[in-house]
Amino acid sequence: MRSTYAAAAVITFMTAWNNFLWPKVILVNSAYQTMPMLISNLRAGYVTDYGMLMLAVLLASLPTMVIFLVLQRAFADGITGAVK
């Protein structure tokens, strides 16, 4: 049961962290932009700096990786418990 909670926690966090459309609709002040909105603003203009874009994507994915690594033991226990 613990692996189910770990999977649900990671999926819920990823959904909230990667949300783009709802904050785009409701935010009035640009000071409160989410990470996906900031990444999409890096593509503005005629030339895209792909190095900066890839760095932003890496920084945006780090919290998800950290949460997965913290809950990795629960995932492994769920996988080994399911295979008999």
Most confident region among 10-19, 25-34, 47-56, 71-80 by mean pLDDT: 47-56
Residue 47, number of CB atoms within 10 A of its CB: 6
Q: Which residue range forms the structural domain that includes residue 46? A: 2-82
Where does the pLDDT of residue 74 fall: very low under 50, low under 70, confident under 90, or very high at 90 and above? confident
Tell me how many domains the chain contains: 1
pTM (2 d.p.): 0.67
Answer whether residue 11 shows pLDDT above 60: yes
Structure confidence at residue 1 (pLDDT):
66
With beta carbons less than 8 A apart as the criterion, state whether 77 and 7 touch: no
